[in-house]
Amino acid sequence: MINRLLGKQKNQDSLVERVQQLQQKPLPKHIAVIMDGNGRWARRRALPRIAGHHEGMNTVKKITRIASNLGIGALTMYAFSTENWKRPKKEVDFLMKLPSEFLHTYLPELIEQNVKVEMIGDPSNLPRHTLDAIHNAMEKTQQNDGLILNFAMNYGSRAELVQATKQIVELVQSGQLSVEDITDETMNAQLMTAHLDEPDLLIRTSGEVRLSNFMLWQLAYAEFIFTDVLWPDFTEHHFLDAVEQYQSRHRRFGSVEGEQKA
């Protein structure tokens, strides 16, 4: 037991030291995360898939804490996509209950850490209890001005872009906007993330190397980091490794002259 406690203290000291080191260089303002590998994590342990999702929820807590301590502005977690409805009903029902469980147990700490809870996605198909839990957390944290913990629930980027395009067409038809005045900023203003900085960094776990219909417009110039680590095994140190990689990259945004280092 003593060795275990000493091990935890040593790990905590190491995290504090790494956070302080990373804070000496520019940090990503917004990190987007595709949390992948819960099912495989469970299968490797001969457990039901829902056990992997439950363990993945604990990882969300850890990564939220370290991101908040590091000083990240926003953390968008891809919690449930528009395609995830195709999964078995039992699994979907469990996933819809996770926000209630997560926010019921973790909300006091989120408030204490000055974290603000937000959500992007289509709320129309989400169960009432899921929405109630998220809206309650949003209401209780709306005055917080620290890390924005942004859950992508029933979110699909193509649907978001279609909706944004329709809104721009309506502005043109009503005379509020001319076709000649449509710019990147026009599209940005119609997206669900209009009030957020575009993600500087995308992290995807589990070895998959694709975006899976996640923030296709917003991630145009983000740095991508793909790791083979399954989401339930993703630790604070893995997260800091990703930030460290981000800081080591040169971000040119399409230019050659005047390289910008992250």
Catalytic residue among 3, 11, 13, 36: 36
Annotated binding residue 217:
no
Annotated binding residue 41:
yes
Annotated binding residue 231:
no
Annotated binding residue 208:
no
| 3-state DSSP of 29-84 | CEEEEECCCHHHHHHCCCCCHHHHHHHHHHHHHHHHHHHHHHCCCEEEEEEEEHHH
Is 84 a known active-site residue? yes
Annotated binding residue 4:
no
Annotated binding residue 128:
no
Pairwise CA distance, residues 146 & 144, whole Å: 6
Annotated binding residue 129:
no
Annotated binding residue 58:
no
Is 184 a known active-site residue? no
Catalytic residue among 69, 84, 136, 213: 84
Alpha helices in the chain (DSSP H): 2-22, 38-43, 49-70, 89-112, 128-141, 157-173, 184-190, 236-248
Q: Are 163 and 90 in contact (CB under 8 A)?
A: no
Pairwise CA distance, residues 159 & 161, whole Å: 5
Residue 245: strand, helix, or coil:
helix
Annotated binding residue 43:
no
Annotated binding residue 212:
yes
Positions at the binding site for substrate: 37-41, 49, 53, 81-83, 85, 87, 204, 210-212
Provide the annotated binding site: 36-41, 49, 53, 81-83, 85, 87, 204, 210-212, 223
Q: Per the annotation, where are the binding residues for Mg(2+)?
A: 36, 223
Catalytic residues, which ones? Answer: 36, 84
